[in-house]
Every structure is written in structure tokens, then in C-alpha cells.
Amino acid sequence: MTQAAPSPTPSAFPDALAEFTLQGPVGPLEAISDTAERPCARRGVAVICHPNSKDGGTMRNKVVTMLERSLRECGLDTLRFNFRSAGESAGEYDEGRGESDDLAAAVAWVRKLRPNDTLWLAGFSFGSYVTLRNAVKLQADALISIAPPVGRWSHETLALPACPWLVVMGEEDEIVEPQAVFDWIDSLEPPPELVRMPETGHFFHRRLMDLRGAVKHWAQDYLPPARE
């Protein structure tokens, strides 16, 4: 059976759940956008990044989708996309360098269509590294890092954002050493807000609803004004 061609890049931010392609630096990037319920909608868009594609990470990862749901329930419209080499996105894995360019392309599309909206960046694992790596350059208004892979990619030399910043870390993470993350955060001035989640690992098994609650609770203090 012939696979349906992906939808072209929208010329306006979709007003409902939509799947399409964005033009990335090395070719098309698969993307999904969705919108907050209008009674609680805010003037902001969250761009959300997924785990390492070499380990099977995509924008459909369950932590990513829970993060997306949490932010949309807070009133933000959302954009997820597959980095180069993930899913049907063009290109090859590039250790965060090319993926940073992919993120910049996604943000440029959002800003073209929503120039007056605040920009939130959020990521899980490798996606949190890419968003942190680019938060200052892309002038993010808020940053959410879920299980940042300290020790797997160098975080010590990254420019740190001045915007509100949340880190959520499972205390039994089997992929990223939790104490390395806690020690890194202790070295930062000022540090991000840290939520330590006990009895859960890297993928937040049995604790996804707790992750949702942590994100929504933190976000309430920083949400942009209501969308008219």
C-alpha cells in the first residue's frame, strides 16, 4: 500500500491537532502541533524535543507526549518534531549539533507565525540537552528539562538561561546518574528549580501522572497572558 504523502508546512499555526512537515536544514522534519482549549489558552507556544534517536527516541515517546499534554493543559499551544534521523525526518544523527539547527528551524517557524507569543522550550533526556544548549541563543522565555543527560553530554560549558527553568529527575534513573545531575545543579548560580521524583527511573514508569503534576504546578507562576 502506498504511504500517504506528509502534509505540507502550514502557512498559519493550526487551530487543532495537525501532523505535517517542516523544512529543516537538511530536509523535511516530521512535526505535530496542537492547541490549548480556548477558554484557558495563553499567548505562548511550547516547542518540545525528544530523546536520542539512536536509542529509538521520537516525538511520540510517552514522556514527551505527557510533557506536551501537561503544557497544553496549562494553556500553551505546542509543537513536537522529529530530529534529523528520527522517524521520517531527513538527515543523520549529529550528537546535538545538527539537532540544534533542527530546533532553530522549528522555532523560526513558530516565531514567523506567532511573533508576539512567548516561547517555551522543553525536552526529555537528549532533548533536554538540545534545548538547554540553545535556550540562550533562541531567547527562550521558560525552559523545562526532564532527566537531563549530565555525564552523557557535556553540560558544564553550556550558557545558562536567565529565564525560569525547571528540572525534573527520577531518583532511580538507570540511564543518567541522578547524583551527577544533583551535583551539577548545586554548582549552578542561580540554580533551576529541581523536582526530585523518588521511586522512578529514566522513563518515569508508574509516575507519569506525577510528572504531569510537577510540570503543571511549576508552570502556573510563569504562564503568559490569556490569548484573546
Q: Which CATH number do you get for residue 166?
A: 3.40.50.1820
Is 5 within a domain? no
Average pLDDT for 166-172: 98
Is 34 within a domain? yes
The residue type found at 165 is W
Spatial distance between the Cα atoms of 80 and 57, rounded to a whole number of angstroms: 12
Share of the chain above pLDDT 70, in %: 97
Average pLDDT for 12-21: 96
Find all residues with CB under 8 Å of 117, minimum gap 6, and list them: 43, 44, 45, 77, 110, 111, 224
Q: Could you read off the pLDDT of 70-98 as tens digits, one per residue?
A: 999 999 999 999 999 999 999 999 999 99
Q: Could you read off the pLDDT of 95-147 as tens digits, one per residue?
A: 999 999 999 999 999 999 999 999 999 999 999 999 999 999 999 999 999 99
Order of strands across the sheet that contains 18-24: 18-24, 27-34, 77-81, 44-49, 118-124, 142-146, 165-170, 193-197
Is 1 within a domain? no
pLDDT of residue 176: 97
Q: Could you read off the pLDDT of 39-82 as tens digits, one per residue?
A: 899 999 999 999 999 999 999 999 999 999 999 999 999 999 99
Is 49 within a domain? yes
Residue ranges of the alpha helices (H) in the chain?
62-73, 97-113, 126-134, 178-186, 208-219
pLDDT of residue 18: 97
Average pLDDT for 153-161: 91
Is 162 within a domain? yes
Assigned C-alpha cell, 17: 491537532
Contact 119, 140 (CB under 8 A): yes
SS3 1: coil
pLDDT > 90? residue 179? yes
Assigned C-alpha cell, 158: 553550556
Domain range for 37 is 18-219
pLDDT of residue 8: 87
- In this structure, of 4-8, 34-38, 186-190, the range with the lowest mean pLDDT score is 4-8
Is 4 within a domain? no
Spatial distance between the Cα atoms of 201 and 148, rounded to a whole number of angstroms: 13
Is 8 within a domain? no
How many distinct structural domains can be found in the chain? 1
